[in-house]
Amino acid sequence: MNSRTSMMQGNVAVAMGAIDAGCRFFAGYPITPSSEIAEHLSKELPAIGGKFIQMEDEIAAMGAVIGASLGGVKSLTATSGPGFSLKQENIGYACITEVPVVIANVMRGGPSTGLPTLPSQSDVMQAKWGTHGDHPIIALTPANVRETYDMTVQAFNMSEKYRVPVIILLDEIIGHVYEKVTLPDPHDLTIFNRKKPSTGPDDYLPYAADESMIPEMANFGDGYRYHVTGLVHDETGFPTNDPEKIQKMLYRLNYKLDKYKDEILQWEETETEDAEIGIVTYGSSARSSRYAMRMAREAGIKAGMIRIQTMWPFPTERLYEFSKQVKKIVVPELNLGQAAHEVEHAVQGNAEVLRVNKIFGDPIPPDEIFTKIKECF
């Protein structure tokens, strides 16, 4: 088996993972700290027959990747902070039209222009609730460079399989850190492509779904003519005011990911079997958390860690079970408690949730997390 070993930056790992997953279209607008994704793809995509377009703004970039995906091309856009905010309306459009797209959001401090060059994890809630209306979304949170590559491949697979936008939610530290990685041969990857129509153009209903809850998807230009609209629509794709059809469409849209939750959710557990104090963490904060957990173990404190890899949907059931085992749960993150809020909701009062937060652009050092762990006694 061929492999590729090199020193690689997290942002470049996003670009390489996208290419290996079959991405052949990128539209974006440069913004710190995600610009290396666009820079790398501006050179690599044309070399393999793909297309790279620098758009006039983030709104147009999101619209362009939706259009490219409707044409049958796996598509990616990348941004940060204010650019992610600008994309939200079109992300909502991709949700209701069930267009597979991948969005890389390299988080930085905010609000507004905020801290353009410094890390944050402050877009956790925006990833889920940034658009209006109820809709499903998948957001993956890598903690190292190799995982960033792997999750980018997963993001394209999930987007194609479930017909849903997928967000790669990394932060500036993961986007800019260099690590030695060995990437697999692209031919060894499992790649998922969207389900094509099983009927001819005359019988095709673009939003008809069987028990899978996921409609078959025809590409524009393949002889299938159908309507795509941001309005609530029936199985034909045309707008409807029929209450029964509206409810049927929106319920299917919102609950289709629940059907596949067990195969979507990902988390990593370390030393949880006998843990009395829990750490729940994600992204770059997980790197400090792991070291703090080791410090606690060396001090005779039975600390165990759950690292969230799928931020949305959230691993609520597992955290609820974990909360019945431990006395307290420490949640370190580079914001004022966005994931901690979800942890508190998940544990339902079984364990006290203690926050370790930092918002001025520095990472959380392990000793601060360890200090919070010691406060649990």
| pLDDT tens digit sequence for 232-266 | 999 999 999 999 999 999 999 999 999 999 999 99
Region 306-335 average pLDDT? 98
Query: Distances in Å between the alpha carbon of 340 and those of 280, 282, 336, 357?
Result: 8, 11, 9, 10
Q: What value does the mean pLDDT of the chain take?
A: 97
Q: What is the CATH number of the domain that holds 370?
A: 3.40.50.920
Residue 88 lies in a domain: yes
What does the block give as tokens for 238?
A: 């045309």
Beta bridge partners of 106: 170
How many domains in the chain? 2
Mean pLDDT of 86-104: 98
Q: Exposed (0-12), middle (13-18) or buried (19+): which is 202, by Cβ within 10 Å? A: exposed
Tell me if residue 364 falls in helix, strand or coil.
coil
pLDDT at res. 3:
67
- Percentage, residues of the chain above pLDDT 70: 99
Q: Is 311 helix (H, G, I), strand (E, B) or coil?
A: strand
pLDDT at 2 over 90: no
pLDDT digits over 176-189, tens only? 999 999 999 999 99
Across residues 26-50, what is the average pLDDT?
A: 98
**Both tokens of residue 166?**
């997928």
- Answer yes or no: is 225 within a domain: no
Average pLDDT rounded to a whole number, residues 116-130 = 97
Task: Give the C-alpha separation, 26 to 104, whole Å.
Answer: 11
In a domain, 170, yes or no: yes
Q: Are residues 74 and 176 in the same domain?
A: yes
pTM: 0.97
Sheet holding 328-333, edge to edge: 267-270, 303-308, 277-281, 328-333, 352-357
- Residues 210-225, mean pLDDT to the nearest whole number: 95
> Residues of 244-270 as b/e, b for ≥16 C-beta within 10 angstroms?
eeeeebeebbeebbeebeeebbebbeb
Backbone phi, psi, residue 263, to 5°:
-95, -10
The Cα–Cα gap between 281 and 171 comes to: 13
**Residue where one domain finishes, among candidates 137, 160, 188:** 188
Confidence of residue 119 (pLDDT cuts 50, 70, 90): very high
Q: How do beta strands 277-281 and 328-333 pair?
A: parallel
Q: How far apart are CA 38 and CA 15, in angstroms?
A: 8
Q: What is the dihedral of CA 103, 108, 114, 117, to 10 degrees?
A: -120
- Across the range 286-303, mean pLDDT stands at 98
The CATH number for 153's domain is 3.40.50.970
Predicted pLDDT at 1: 47
CA distance 326 to 282: 19
The residue from 188, 217, 238 where one domain ends is 188
Q: How confident is the model at residue 376 (pLDDT cuts 50, 70, 90)?
A: confident
Q: pLDDT tier at 377 (50, 70, 90 boundaries)?
A: confident
Domain of 9 in residue numbering reads as 3-188
Average pLDDT over residues 275-289: 98
Residue 370 lies in a domain: yes
* Radius of gyration of the CA atoms of the chain, in A: 21
Tell whether the model's pLDDT for residue 15 goes beyond 70. Answer: yes
Q: Which of 188, 214, 231 finishes a domain?
A: 188
| Domain annotation covers residue 60 | yes
Pair (275, 181) in one structural domain: no
Percent of the chain scoring above 90 in pLDDT: 98
Tell me whether residue 228 is in a domain. no
Per residue in 125-167, pLDDT (tens digit) is: 999 999 999 999 999 999 999 999 999 999 999 999 999 999 9
Beta pairing, strands 328-333 & 166-171 = unpaired
Shared domain check, 166 and 64: yes
Instruction: Classify residue 222: in a domain, yes or no.
Output: no
Alpha-carbon gap, residue 72 to 25, rounded angstroms: 10
Cβ-contact 346, 307 below 8 angstroms: no
